[in-house]
Amino acid sequence: MILTVTLNTALDITYRVRALRPHGSHRVSEVTERPGGKGLNVGRVLAALGHEVTVTGFTGGATGRTVRDRLAESAGVVDALVPVRGSTRRTIAVVDTTTGDTTQLNEPGPAITPAEWSAFQETYEHLLRSASAVALCGSLPPGVPVGAYAQLVRTARASAVPVLLDTSGEPLRRGVAARPDIVKPNAEELAELTGSHEPLQATRNARRRGAHAVVASLGTDGLLAHTPEGHWRATPPVRAHGNPTGAGDSAVAGLLSGLVEKLDWPARLARAVALSTATVAAPVAGEFDRALYESLLGRVTVTAESAAA
């Protein structure tokens, strides 16, 4: 079983409009709702790839009930979310169908009490006993300690469970120091972490800070990986047009599934790039265009990078 952690779950609401204009009134052509938050997106993609998946994190209020109801419709995903008194947040994506651009509005999430945080840690430790790998994903809701991911990384390592970390800011900085097996920042998050805006140098710097392997998302330019086994750049054969929300989460699913299946790094990276590209072409996060994914998988270019500092 692969475990994904989403401390700040969400109900993802996507509006589609012909053209998004500031200060204007818009007629929405389509509305979709999905259980959201990075780890839930990762979990749905992993399940679609055929893996057994359990998702955990916090959920509460009427919005939380809707998230759990919708999650029950996701085949292959086991719900181990921890209830809280506060209400799960909503995220609003407005897709301009003319340009393909997406505007995102993210609520902060419920305030988590010390007792709720303790209850989650007990659930997490229990779930790790049967986990083959764990992904720690996304932002922290109010009330959760800023060093939460560092603590969860150390707990996974103590249980000998490989752990992937995908977050940003101070939680990323502290989490990297706890020595996760993989960190997957985007270029902006990587630059904030290391102070370097040159991706190759920045991935090296992130490994020096404690990460076993660093895989940086470079948007439409693919992925850059710095690992003990080698250094690679993976680029898609085409640039998909659509909604990029969730593309990074699909990359995480590709990396984590490849780790569990014991694929070599080039194969993991090719899968991650093909999945993330196919996700851009899908209507909502947590889904991917399977036909496009399968057509892309054998055409992703993975090239070795120089290991020189």
Torsion of CA 261, 36, 62, 52, to 10 degrees: -10
Q: Is the separation of the CB atoms in 150 and 177 below 8 Å?
A: yes
DSSP string over 136-147: EESPPPTTS-TT
The DSSP bridge partners found for residue 92 are: 13, 105
Q: Decide if 79 is catalytic.
A: no
Report the alpha-carbon angle 11-161-88, nearest 5: 15
Q: Is the separation of the CB atoms in 285 and 271 below 8 Å?
A: no
In angstroms, rounded to a whole number, what is the distance separating the alpha carbons of residues 16 and 224? 32
For tokens 């029950």, what's the residue?
A: 72
The SS3 assignment for 18 reads coil
**Catalytic residue selected from 101, 249, 264, 289:** 249
Secondary structure (H, E, C), 272-307: HHHHHHHHHCCCCCCCCCHHHHHHHHCCCEEEECCC
Instruction: Give catalytic residues, as residue numbers.
Output: 249
